[in-house]
Structure 1
């Protein structure tokens, strides 16, 4: 997504109606259709990004896993370079033998919001 292509995210996510996300640009999306649409919207504005998970911690209980860490990197959003550094929590569920993301939550990013606020309203 940070490089303009949201498609790779589809492979790691569950596609159910109960998946959720709370992005660094705010709002909450519920259900795969809303989650994937939000990724596509960000991807349309993003390029040249690289984000890595630091200080990763994973806790597994049965068929659920919780991952926490710090996402760090940089992204060009609507032509503006924006630093990425926020806490993240991801939840996964085992589906047909594979781990699929069911929730993604990060801190709000004032830098990303500032860029988006300068964009003309659609």
Structure 2
């Protein structure tokens, strides 16, 4: 129990540090390329790990995204969230079910086209949601735009996860 709490505290500290670096110096730290995108990506995945620990993350997620009506997320549960408030709330919804786990981006590739960046990879890990342990492994695409404040996410898309969809369906029966 102590080790799990220690891991959660460490993830929270890492997430806060990543967000602090992003907010305080993203324009200066951004080399105009992959390093700036990678910094936002690292902060995003730190927030996802906080989410899997059961921590609401909308306040961590929001600064990483462009605050615009057209930002979107298509999560492993299906559907499409449109707008920053809606998609940030969806992450908090998962946090309300989460009891632990970890997720990481593997096989990361970043391609930059002017002021647009596309990141692809595979999200892997495990999560305990509503008391059930679920393996996480699906492809992901994240899209970023360069702003005067640095890179910001505009889209997050994963494959569907049948185990997560089945779990959510069982909770609504």
Relative to the length of structure 2, the TM-score reads 0.66
Structure 1: unaligned runs, 5 residues or longer = none
Query: Displacement, 1:47?
Result: 2.5
User: Where does the alignment leave 5 or more consecutive residues of structure 2 unmatched?
Assistant: 1-50
Matches within 5 A, 1:27-106: 27-106=79-158
Residue 79 of structure 1 and its aligned partner are, at CA, apart by 1.2
Aligned counterpart, 2:53 = 3
Displacement of 1:29 in angstroms is: 0.7
1:90-114 deviation line (CA, Å, top 9, x unaligned): 0001122311111000000001111
1:114 aligns with 2:160: no
Larger radius of gyration: 2
TM-score by length of 1: 0.92
Q: In the comparison of the two structures, how many residue pairs are matched?
A: 121
Larger strand proportion, structure 1 or 2?
A: 1
Runs of 4+ in 1 over 3 A off after TM superposition: none
- In 2, the alpha carbon distance for the partners of 1:48 and 1:103 equals 25
> Does structure 1 conserve the Cα–Cα contact (< 8 Å) formed by 2:62 and 2:84?
no
